[in-house]
């Protein structure tokens, strides 16, 4: 694919792709030296302020806080711009452990790479992808448009990763 994902967090900082290692950690470090998380959830979000997405952001924030102790990160990826995501984080009181990433331009490039982009609507589908420390997909949770993903499925897959 010609378009390379250019992710930015809700503060405008650039992130690597796939966003396994955050900008504050060395990208070249190995998975056993503490530089990379054990796992990363990429939760693709159709729109930050839609009713279903707002509900999902609440429990994703709770899980991000809890899983930080297990070294599992949660990154929400949306085609919303970084300022919109910053406003959502502030308005919803989301915890710092929940990273919001903008897949604004090239529009939806990260979602496309994970088969989560809906070209008909121009937004990501409601898909979460669990990556291991090497960035390999080890699990996926999907929901139909207008329906929330299963929190329980996220928790089950995370427990398997951590066992």
Q: Write out the residue range of the structural domain in which residue 68 sits.
A: 7-16+35-162
Mean pLDDT of 42-61: 94
In-domain check, residue 154: yes
pLDDT given at position 130: 98
Structure tokens at 9: 């967090």
Does residue 108 contact residue 122 with C-beta atoms inside 8 Å?
yes
Q: How far is CA 50 from CA 53, 129, 131, in A?
A: 5, 21, 26
For the chain, what is the domain count?
1
Report how many helices (DSSP H) and strands (DSSP E) the chain contains, helices first.
4, 9
According to the model, what pLDDT value does residue 35 have? 59
What's residue 1's pLDDT?
47
- Global pTM reads 0.90
pLDDT score at 30: 46
Residue 28 is assigned to a structural domain of this protein: no
Is residue 149 packed enough to be buried (19+ CB in 10 Å), middle (13-18) or exposed (0-12)? buried
Domain assignment of residue 25, yes or no: no
Kindly state the percentage of the chain with pLDDT values over 90: 79
CATH number for the domain including 113? 3.40.30.10
pLDDT tops 90 at residue 33? no
Sign of torsion over alpha carbons 36, 39, 43, 44 = positive
Does residue 26 belong to any structural domain of this protein? no
Q: In this predicted model, what pLDDT tens digit does every residue of 113-140 receive, in sequence order?
A: 999 999 999 999 999 999 999 999 999 9
Residue 24 lies in a domain: no
29 within a domain of the structure (yes/no): no
Q: Which of 2-11, 55-64, 88-97 has the lowest mean pLDDT?
A: 2-11
């Amino acid at each position: 694919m010609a378009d390379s994902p250019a992710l930015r967090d809700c503060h405008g900082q650039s992130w690597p792709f796939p966003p396994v290692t955050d900008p504050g950690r060395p990208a070249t470090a190995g998975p056993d030296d503490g530089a990379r998380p054990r796992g990363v959830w990429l939760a693709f979000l159709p729109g930050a302020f839609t009713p279903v997405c707002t509900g999902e952001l609440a429990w994703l924030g709770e899980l991000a806080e809890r899983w930080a102790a297990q070294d599992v990160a949660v990154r929400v990826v949306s085609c919303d711009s970084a300022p919109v995501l910053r406003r959502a984080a502030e308005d919803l009181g989301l915890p710092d452990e929940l990273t919001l990433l903008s897949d604004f331009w090239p529009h939806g490039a990260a979602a496309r790479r994970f088969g989560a982009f809906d070209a008909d609507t121009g937004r990501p589908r409601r898909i979460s992808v669990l990556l291991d420390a090497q960035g390999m997909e080890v699990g996926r949770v999907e929901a139909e448009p207008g329906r929330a993903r299963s929190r329980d499925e996220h928790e089950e897959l995370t427990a398997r990763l951590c066992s």
